[in-house]
Amino acid sequence: MEDGPTGLDLLAVCGTLMPGASAWSMLRPLVATDEGACLLPGTVYDTGRGYPAFRLGDGPGAPARLVRLREPEAALPILDDYEGPEYERSRLTLADGTPCWVYVWIAPLSGMPVLPDGWLR
């Protein structure tokens, strides 16, 4: 996982960590504020394993939620462990110029269908 600049406390989530999704209860105590919806540049894929894969780049875009972490230095290692080796934490600048962290799928995508509307579970 990437070490980041001190003070970067925004995280964009587009899968199981979104409010109301299966892992929100794990993320919620780490969040200071919900900054609202955003759209990530890229594509969301269905892994078939109960969680999505997000890849940066061209694509339909990924509906996401931007959250401000209460203590990023403590929260990010927890989230890195949760995301596991198939993901890499990367710095991203949103279209409006806002810098944030996002977890990007780095494992193969073979056979995974595109979810053009993002992860809706």
In the predicted model, is pLDDT for residue 100 greater than 90? Answer: yes
Give me the chain's average pLDDT, please. 92
The CA distance from 75 to 40, in Å, is 21
In a domain, 118, yes or no: no
In a domain, 121, yes or no: no
In a domain, 3, yes or no: no
Instruction: Note down the domain range covering 77.
Output: 21-105
Look at residue 119 in the predicted model and tell me its pLDDT.
86
In a domain, 1, yes or no: no
Residues 12/64, Cβ–Cβ less than 8 Å: yes
In a domain, 2, yes or no: no
Look at residue 81 in the predicted model and tell me its pLDDT.
97
Angle CA 74–49–25, to nearest 5: 35
Q: If you average pLDDT over residues 80-91, what whole number do you get? A: 97
In a domain, 32, yes or no: yes
pTM of the model: 0.91
In a domain, 6, yes or no: no
Q: How many domains does the chain have?
A: 1
Between 91 and 1, residue with greater pLDDT:
91
In the predicted model, is pLDDT for residue 6 greater than 60? Answer: no
In a domain, 112, yes or no: no
